[in-house]
Amino acid sequence: MNAHRIETVVEANGTIVLKELPFREGEAVEVIVLERKSKPETDNSYPLRGTAYTYIDPTEPVAVDDWDALK
């Protein structure tokens, strides 16, 4: 089975047009229409992107007592 994905918009009269399909004329196909959910604009996958950060003594060794995971 050869699958082909096309994204389009429903027209005012409730129809959709599929152009340039990679199938031969007269070939039987199955069409499944799914609603595409858009991401909410408030979704921020990278909330710290663009914020300033500072490393304090980035080359200093870390003592064993400083690791919370080992306690």
- Characterize 4-25 residue by residue with b for buried, 16 or more Cβ atoms within 10 angstroms of its Cβ, and e for exposed: eeeeeeeeeeeeeeeeeeeeee
Stretches where the chain sits below pLDDT 50 are: none
> What was the pLDDT predicted at 58?
82
> What was the pLDDT predicted at 25?
93
> What was the pLDDT predicted at 71?
58
> What was the pLDDT predicted at 12?
94
* Residue 61 near residue 55, CB atoms below 8 Å: no
> What was the pLDDT predicted at 40?
64
> What was the pLDDT predicted at 69?
63
